[in-house]
Amino acid sequence: MVVLAVKPQMMKDVCQGLKSSLEPHQLIVSVAAGITCASMTQWLGEQPVVRCMPNTPSLLRQGASGLYATDNVTSEQREQAETLLAAVGVAVWVEQEKHMDAVTAVSGSGPAYFFLMMEAMTAAGVKLGLPEDIAKKLTLQTALGSALIATGSDVDAGELRRRVASPGGTTEAAIKAFQAGGFEALVETALTAADHRAAELAEQLGK
């Protein structure tokens, strides 16, 4: 197995330099964002390729990675690739390569969305009178605790939210304000923008 974890702009040159050194049917695992399997095949020939999209929490072995395999990847090679990515978090397979753009939108870029929410909550806490260090500490611990509850529960996020939001209470007031501002639609718009941009980059980088 050869893992190619280089900048997307460098991948073509790396592949062309590596091609003559590869063994027949040697598995290639690409960690370069936006590089399609078709481009890899064009540059390397008919090598089995697994394309993967990890995210930054992988640095702490808490990542989420999406994987896609070309048709000539064997079941044993799929297992090897999955074992590699599962060592740094959760690894899931998609059956259509176009869904790697959605993986990028949801989990690849996802940490930044949560960081943005943390920024906003901290700033709001400060405006409500809390010292910044306290607002930040409360926000970060709340994010961590909520993630642990969600990942450790068989109950979906919507039901967990409803359990916290007592009728007529403070949480319900906040949720109603979010929804009045079009929160869900905004999230969908943002992820769709990321999905479309991922597809655009794949087209540009494959040339």
- With helix as H, strand as E and coil as C, how does the chain read? CEEECCCHHHHHHHHHHHHHHCCCCCCEEECCCCCCHHHHHHHHCCCCEEEEECCHHHHHCCEEEEEEECCCCCHHHHHHHHHHHHCCEEEEECCCCCHHHHHHHHHHCHHHHHHHHHHHHHHHHHHCCCCHHHHHHHHHHHHHHHHHHHHCCCCCHHHHHHHHCCCCCHHHHHHHHHHHCCHHHHHHHHHHHHHHHHHHHHHHHCC
One digit per residue, the tens of pLDDT, for the chain of length 207 reads: 999 999 888 999 999 999 999 999 999 999 988 899 999 999 999 999 999 999 999 999 999 999 999 999 999 999 999 999 999 999 999 999 999 999 999 999 999 999 999 999 999 999 999 999 999 999 999 999 999 999 999 999 999 999 999 999 999 999 999 999 999 999 999 999 999 999 998 888 876
Q: Which long-range contacts does 58-64 make (Cβ < 8 Å, 24+ apart)? A: 58/88, 58/89, 59/88, 61/87, 61/88, 61/89, 62/89, 63/88, 63/89, 63/90, 64/89, 64/90, 64/92, 64/107, 64/110
Q: Which amino acid is at 192?
A: T
pLDDT of residue 203: 86
pLDDT of residue 201: 87
For domain 110-196, is the CATH number 3.30.230.10? Answer: no
pLDDT of residue 207: 65
pLDDT of residue 197: 93
User: How far is C-alpha 111 from the chain's CA centre?
Assistant: 8
pLDDT of residue 23: 92
- Are 81 and 67 in contact by the 8 Å Cβ rule? The answer is yes
Fold designation for 2-100: Rossmann fold (3.40.50)
The ranges assigned to domains in the chain are 2-100, 110-196
pLDDT of residue 47: 94
For 45: left if phi > 0, alpha if psi spans -120 to 50, otherwise beta; the answer is left
Q: Do the domains 2-100 and 110-196 sit in the same CATH topology, yes or no? A: no
Given the DSSP bridges, would you call strands 28-30 and 63-69 parallel, antiparallel or unpaired? unpaired
